[in-house]
């Protein structure tokens, strides 16, 4: 294992107030996104959208890496240039989602386990040849009246560590993503407890399986109340609770925490990250972003599947990317409406 190389990539991912664009929606999930703007889920449309993302001029100033889905890593832009080459031209590091999705967990009603370990060693070797330098695996933890079960946290933590070790052996820096979902009416205290428990389970397994913490990135959820909870916490409370939770659970050897947005609005995701860095950010690791929806929502809406709207869509993406980069420095100011 080349730890220097893994750590170098991890540090580059969180360098200079930059973060990640998660554009690794599976074909099914991408279908939902395209449906929301009335566009058919066909390969050419998925390519057109992702091509406009990676061609946005100057994106590399704010975005260190883009997480791709298998199809995109192999894809060529409309003019025949490989997508990976377009990214490299902007000094953006290509990454790859390597899990094959969250499936129903046997014996645990309503809970999921993420699959994709079979053949992973071989796939990692191929992805490295195709130009990827980091990888992502997302585990899903659901909060409910009797959920999550310890069993679900344990199997997901085990799989995350197995994945991370395989990636490190194969030369890809792993993003370890245990997502505690926002769905439900639970309060912020409950999210805090479940996130703490989940992260403990994950780091236990990472230690047990000898994953090098210096050569990985953690992609956690923020500590927030469920979307249906009547009492929503303010920006500063979310920021403070999140940083405290991370300080309890995440060893200082991890170079960076790159949060997921998980269904927060674009503005919420930026403002909360900004508050963490502005007010509570004396931390051993960088606090950055790895947003999917919170970077792409307004861009997708501006595009509407029409070539004529590419410039407007790219401007919307760049605006969110710039805002989140500022949030990494605690220097974000909301634009007056
Ligand atoms: P969201 O920011 O939309 O949650 O997506 C991030 C991601 O990569 C989820 O795995």
**Strand partners for 217:** 175
Ligand 1 centroid, distance to 292 Cα (angstroms): 4
Q: How many separate helices (H) and strands (E) can be counted in the chain?
A: 12, 10
Mean pLDDT to the nearest integer, 255-282: 96
Could you give the CA distance from residue 17 to residue 15 in angstroms, rounded to a whole number?
A: 6
Ligand 1, from 22, 222, 299: best to mutate by most atoms within 8 Å of Cβ?
Answer: 22
> Is a pLDDT exceeding 80 seen at residue 30?
yes
Cis check: omega of the bond before 148, within 30 degrees of 0: yes
The string of pLDDT tens digits covering residues 51-74 is: 999 999 999 999 999 999 999 999
Is the pLDDT reported for residue 172 higher than 90?
A: yes
pLDDT band (50, 70, 90) for residue 78: very high
Mean pLDDT confidence for 307-325 = 98
In the annotation, is 304 catalytic?
Answer: no
The 10 Å Cβ neighbour count of residue 117 is 16
Judged against a pLDDT cut of 80, whether residue 281 lies above it is answered with: no
Give the C-alpha separation, 243 to 240, whole Å.
5
Encode pLDDT of 79-111 as tens digits.
999 999 999 999 999 999 999 999 999 999 899
Tens-place pLDDT, residues 183-225: 999 999 999 999 999 999 999 999 999 999 999 999 999 999 9
Q: Where are the alpha helices (DSSP H) in the chain?
A: 3-13, 27-35, 43-55, 70-73, 83-89, 120-130, 150-170, 188-208, 235-249, 266-279, 293-303, 310-328
The one catalytic residue among 177, 179, 205, 266: 177
- Ligand 1 pocket test, pick from 261, 267, 270, 288 with the greatest ligand atom count within 8 Å of Cβ, gives 261
What's the whole-number average pLDDT of the chain?
A: 97
If you average pLDDT over residues 2-14, what whole number do you get? Answer: 98
Query: What pLDDT shows up at residue 334?
Result: 87
Tokens, residue 161: 């560590």
Ligand 1 centroid to residue 259 C-alpha, Å: 9
- Report the SS3 class of residue 147: strand
| 23: nearest Cα among 321, 315, 313, 292 | 292
CB distance 163 to 174 below 8 Å: yes
Give residue 336's pLDDT: 75
Question: Residues 242, 244, 245, 250: is their CA dihedral positive or negative?
Answer: positive
Q: What integer pLDDT is reported at residue 282 of this predicted model? A: 86
Report the pLDDT averaged over residues 105-126: 96
Find the 241 Cα to ligand 1 centroid distance in Å.
20
Give me the mean pLDDT over the 18-39 stretch: 98
Q: Is 8 a catalytic residue?
A: no
pLDDT cut 70: percent of the chain above it = 100
> Tell me, what's the pLDDT at 333?
95
Q: How far is the CA of 137 from the centre of ligand 1 (A)?
A: 11
Question: How large is the angle between the packed helices 266-279 and 310-328, nearest 10 degrees?
Answer: 20
Q: Can you give the pLDDT at residue 141?
A: 98
Domain 3-328 has CATH 3.40.50.300: no
């Amino acid at each position: 294992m080349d730890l220097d190389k893994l750590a170098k990539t991890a540090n580059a991912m969180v360098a200079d107030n930059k973060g990640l664009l998660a554009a690794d929606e599976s074909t099914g999930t991408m279908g939902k996104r395209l449906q929301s703007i009335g566009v058919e889920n066909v390969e050419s449309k998925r390519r057109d959208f992702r091509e406009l993302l990676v061609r946005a001029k100057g994106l590399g100033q704010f975005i260190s890496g883009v997480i791709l889905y298998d199809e995109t890593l192999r894809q060529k832009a409309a003019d025949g240039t490989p997508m990976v080459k377009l990214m490299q031209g902007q000094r953006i590091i290509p990454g790859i989602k390597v899990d094959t999705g969250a499936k129903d967990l046997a014996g645990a009603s309503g809970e999921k386990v993420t699959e994709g370990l079979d053949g992973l060693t071989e796939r990692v070797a191929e992805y490295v040849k195709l130009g990827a330098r980091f990888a992502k695996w997302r585990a899903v933890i659901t909060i409910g009246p009797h959920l999550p079960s310890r069993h679900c946290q344990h199997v997901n933590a085990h799989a995350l560590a197995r994945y991370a070790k395989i990636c490190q052996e194969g030369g890809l820096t792993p993003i370890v993503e245990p997502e505690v979902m926002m769905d439900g009416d639970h309060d912020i205290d409950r999210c805090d407890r479940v996130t703490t428990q989940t992260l403990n389970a994950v780091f236990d397994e990472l230690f047990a399986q000898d994953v090098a913490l210096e050569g990985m990135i953690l992609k956690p959820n923020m500590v927030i109340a469920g979307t249906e909870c009547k009492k929503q916490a303010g920006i500063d409370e979310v920021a403070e609770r999140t940083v405290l939770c991370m300080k309890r659970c995440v060893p200082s050897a991890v170079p960076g925490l790159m949060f997921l947005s998980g269904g927060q609005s674009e503005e919420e995701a930026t403002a909360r990250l900004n508050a963490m860095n502005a007010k509570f950010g004396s931390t051993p690791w960088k606090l950055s972003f790895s947003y999917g929806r919170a970077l792409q929502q307004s861009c997708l809406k501006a595009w509407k599947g029409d070539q004529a709207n590419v410039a407007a869509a790219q401007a919307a993406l760049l605006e969110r990317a710039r805002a989140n980069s500022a949030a990494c420095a605690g220097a974000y100011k909301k634009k007056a409406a």
